[in-house]
């Protein structure tokens, strides 16, 4: 049942717990408030008491759950949820307003100008069905750019947040240019605080993609996004992975060991560096003339070619 709810609402386990708590507390607060309010008046007839009670519940409940959703970090979910309920109640009235509003606008402006108005409304509605991804990156962000490009027009997946630990990193510019919210994170909160889980929940993130993110992912974040964090490593794991094995160091080690082949590994993230289950690997030759830079370039091409596709595949699978 919980898995079905998680899927339906597109949330992780922690979010679901917070949402259910909000519902439970919101429900109790609503009942309590409605009874207190009714106590202010002396309603004699039983049927009238029940009628007013139901009316009060209907009015108080959305206010109560919405307010309570804030301390639980679930206000974006409840904003959408209450909007949906609102649409269900007043939907027919609203849609008929929309239908009549459109021809009016057409009369006021040209049909051509009006067309995007419909498109925008459609896009906004579809955005509600997107699975939202956060990309964690510390560097230039060439993979991040490729992933953004790949999902730019996707109807199911949206890159909703760029998380970065390095002020001035190139990936922050990408976020700015692409109009994607970015989050500059600090060590203390990441490793000794909530690991920004509340922030990720606030953005309704359901999947995390590491693309050149150099900090180790803390256990609480791994637990909160169990099986939903992946990483890309520029070598064929389990070889040339682990602490300190990143960037040029990986390629230097591959060349020093006179390997004939290197490649990329996309894997789930667990508590150990470059250790989680492998999802995908692709290989490329290591030439005798290769330097760390030339090998890095070949590896980058592989990454750009496959990382977005693998993410897409995973999104469709889950």
Which parts of this chain interact with ligand GRF (CB under 6 A)?
137, 139-144, 211-212, 232-234, 300, 303
Strand ranges (E), the chain: 131-136, 157-164, 182-184, 207-210, 229-233, 261-268, 278-285
Q: Select the residue whose beta carbon is closest to ligand GRF and give its number.
A: 212
Coil, strand or helix at 91: helix
d(CA 235, CA 241): 7
- Beta carbon nearer to ligand GRF, 34 or 161: 161
- Beta carbon nearer to ligand GRF, 203 or 300: 300
- In the complex, minimum distance from the CB of residue 169 to ligand GRF, in angstroms, rounded to a whole number: 8
Active site residue ranges? 233
Strand ranges (E), 216-312: 229-233, 261-268, 278-285
- In the complex, minimum distance from the CB of residue 305 to ligand GRF, in angstroms, rounded to a whole number: 13
Residue 117, C-beta contacts closer than 8 angstroms, at least 6 positions apart: 102, 105
- Beta carbon nearer to ligand GRF, 206 or 231: 231
- In the complex, minimum distance from the CB of residue 140 to ligand GRF, in angstroms, rounded to a whole number: 4
d(CA 65, CA 82): 9
- The upper half-sphere exposure of residue 93, i.e. CA atoms within 13 Å in the direction of its Cβ, equals 5
- Beta carbon nearer to ligand GRF, 19 or 302: 302
- In the complex, minimum distance from the CB of residue 229 to ligand GRF, in angstroms, rounded to a whole number: 13
Q: How many CB atoms lie within 10 A of CB 275?
A: 16
């Amino acid at each position: 049942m919980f898995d079905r709810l998680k899927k339906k609402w597109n949330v992780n386990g922690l979010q679901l717990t917070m949402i259910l708590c909000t519902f439970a507390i919101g429900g109790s607060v609503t009942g309590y408030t409605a009874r207190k309010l009714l106590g202010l008046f002396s309603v004699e007839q039983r049927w009238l008491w029940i009628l007013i009670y139901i009316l009060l519940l209907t009015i108080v409940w959305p206010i109560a759950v919405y307010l309570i959703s804030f301390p639980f970090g679930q206000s974006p979910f409840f904003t959408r949820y209450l909007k949906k309920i609102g649409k269900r109640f007043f939907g027919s009235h609203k849609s008929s307003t929309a239908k009549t509003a459109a021809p009016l606008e057409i009369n006021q402006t040209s049909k051509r100008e009006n067309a995007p108005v419909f498109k925008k409304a459609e896009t906004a509605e579809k955005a509600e069905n997107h699975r939202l991804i956060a990309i964690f990156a510390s560097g230039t962000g060439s993979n991040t750019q490729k992933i953004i490009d790949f999902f730019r027009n996707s109807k199911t997946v949206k890159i909703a947040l760029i998380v970065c630990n390095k002020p001035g990193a190139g990936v922050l510019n990408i976020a700015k240019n692409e109009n994607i919210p970015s989050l500059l994170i600090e060590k203390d909160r990441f490793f000794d605080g909530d690991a920004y889980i509340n922030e990720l929940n606030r953005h309704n993130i359901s999947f995390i993609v590491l693309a050149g993110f150099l900090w180790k992912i803390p256990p609480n974040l791994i637990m909160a996004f169990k099986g939903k964090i992946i990483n890309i490593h520029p070598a064929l794991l389990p070889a040339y992975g682990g602490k300190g094995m990143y960037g040029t160091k990986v390629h230097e080690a591959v060349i020093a060991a006179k390997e004939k082949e290197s490649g990329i590994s996309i894997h789930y993230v667990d508590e150990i560096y470059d250790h989680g289950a492998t999802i995908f690997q692709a290989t490329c030759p290591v030439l005798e003339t290769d330097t760390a830079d030339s090998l890095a370039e070949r590896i980058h091409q592989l990454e750009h070619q496959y990382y977005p596709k693998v993410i897409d595949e995973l999104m469709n699978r889950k």
